[in-house]
Structure 1
Amino acid sequence: MTFLLWILAVVLVVAGIVSIVRGQLLWGIVLIVVGLLVGPGGVSIFT
């Protein structure tokens, strides 16, 4: 479960960075924040 949350977090953060590069600043920031919440935050919540 922890490994899946980290994978999801990495995907979200990378998608956020790609969105920022493509000019969608707000959507990119949202994806990065959600990725950080799912990654370290989600791991600490679920374990």
Structure 2
Amino acid sequence: MATLLWILAAVLVVSGVFAIVRKQLLWGIVLIIVGLAVGPGGVSLFT
């Protein structure tokens, strides 16, 4: 479960960076924040 959360978090953060590069600043920031919440926060929440 922890591995899946880390993979999901990495995908969200990378998608957020690409959104920022494509000039979609707000959407990129939201994706990065959600990715960080799912990654370290989600792993500590579920374990």
Superposition TM-score, scaled by structure 1 size: 1.00
Q: Please list every run of 5 or more consecutive structure 1 residues that lacks an aligned counterpart in the other structure.
A: none
Aligned-residue RMSD, C-alpha:
0.2
Runs of 4+ in 1 over 4 A off after TM superposition: none
Q: Please list every run of 5 or more consecutive structure 2 residues that lacks an aligned counterpart in the other structure.
A: none
User: Partners of 1:2 and 1:45 in 2: how far apart?
Assistant: 10
- Identity over aligned pairs, percent: 77
Q: How many equivalent residue pairs? A: 47
Indicate the residue corresponding to 1:10 in structure 2.
10
Superposition TM-score, scaled by structure 2 size: 1.00
